Structure 1
Amino acid sequence: MDLILIRHPEVAVDAGICYGQSDVPLRRDVRDLASMLSARMEELNAPVCIDGWHTSPLQRCASIAHALGANAHIDARLAEMHFGAWEGCAWDTIDRALIDAWAADIEHARPHGGESFAQFARRVIAWFEAACVDQQAVHVIAHAGVMRVLASHLLGIARENALQWPLDFGAIAWFRRVRGQWLLVRWNA
């Protein structure tokens, strides 16, 4: 089985803003972006999407899935982590003590009042376990957090480690299950 994850392209939000589940638009024309993503998938010789793209309901992902011309399987479990009161705030305006409290217990702390990282991960993994059963290939337009949770889950590494991996806007991550074991084919491609 192949699992192809594509992070949504750049959003029309100023740098340094926490936008988690805020429904923000893409910075560029969605048709152009979809065309570029299709070409990159072809260059990488990635499996062709047959059964439609799985996607978050947030427009920065769902609009790409629709523009790719495929049937879109919209699932709220694929939405980015909810940052509660921090949504829409500049990171440098959030009380440093609250950010430090969150960093001290990244799995369970929720000083923002939204989801803990553990709650978010359970939601994403529940999607994976439901959607990726007996499939040849699953294609997903995702958020960075979703991709990192799935990477840590599939590869059996600590989530805190996967949070450190670079992941560009529009990046492709490709996983393949071979004889029951998940392998990373591409990261940030």
Structure 2
Amino acid sequence: MKLYIWRHPKPFAASGVCLGQTDMGVHSRKLKRLASQIERFVRLHKLPKVIWVSPLQRSLKVGELLAQRGFKCQVAPDLMELNFGTWDGRPWSDIPKQAIDEWCADFAHSAPYHGESVAQLFTRVEGQLESWLKAQAIEHSDKPILAVGHAGWINVAKMLAAGEGVPQVAADWPRPVGYGELSSLTF
């Protein structure tokens, strides 16, 4: 299976914030720019006009714009970013260093923020990928999947495509892809 996944545009006031499933808005110009970029890519590569998005508005609104341009927009809750629980939407500077150290000490399985662990995010990403693979098998299709997702989800998908497992230490977590950046993955 081929997956083309773009990271959503940069939301308002996201700098310095622990941003997981907090539903922050994005400037309409940035949303339109990414939708146009995806539309050109699809036209250039003669791809199906189907886009998968998370229900968070920084992803969903790109899908809605594409739907206005003739795309079929599919919403998948499993495409959402890591759930940072009580940390979500707070400035990183407001989160106690001890709590962050606790998380990093057991990076794969800890969730001191009472949200989702990195291992749980891996399971969720694997589930979405398996769902797409099963649908392709049922439809006897090898058409690529196009999606607008989030940095953590994309990092996990990249690690899975490379045959890597859940990182045990925070230092092994990759840098996030840039806003609006396309990642091309094969499973």
Would the alpha carbon gap of residues 175 and 33 (structure 1) be closer, same or farther in structure 2, given more than 3 Å must change?
closer
How many Å separate the matches in 2 of 1:60 and 1:14?
Answer: 11
Q: Residue by residue, what CA displacement relative to the aligned partner does 1:51-90 show, whole Å, maximum 9, x if unpaired?
A: x111111110011112123111111111111101101110
**DSSP 3-state at the match of 1:132:** helix
- Residue 153 of structure 1, CA deviation: 1.0
Query: Mind listing any 5+ residue stretches in structure 1 that lack a counterpart?
Result: 177-181, 183-189
- Which residue does the alignment assign to 1:131? 132
How many Å separate the matches in 1 of 2:72 and 2:27?
Answer: 23
Q: Which has the higher contact order (CA 8 A, sep 6+)?
A: 2
- Which residue does the alignment assign to 1:80? 81
How many Å separate the matches in 1 of 2:94 and 2:88?
Answer: 12
- Residue 155 of structure 1, CA deviation: 1.1
- Which residue does the alignment assign to 1:154? 161
- Residue 175 of structure 1, CA deviation: 1.6
Q: How many positions carry a matched residue from both structures?
A: 174
Misfit runs of 4+, over 6 Å: none
Would the alpha carbon gap of residues 132 and 96 (structure 1) be closer, same or farther in structure 2, given more than 3 Å must change?
same
* Cα RMSD for the two superposed structures: 2.0
Q: Does residue 186 of structure 2 align to residue 173 of structure 1?
A: no
Higher helix share: 2
- Which residue does the alignment assign to 1:58? 56
How many Å separate the matches in 2 of 1:142 and 1:32?
Answer: 16
- Identity across the alignment (%): 28
- Which residue does the alignment assign to 1:48? 47
- Give the TM-score taking structure 2 as reference length: 0.84
Which letter maps to 2:84?
F
**DSSP 3-state at the match of 1:32:** helix
- Which residue does the alignment assign to 1:141? 148
Which stretch of structure 1 is more off in the superposition, 30-39 or 80-89?
A: 30-39
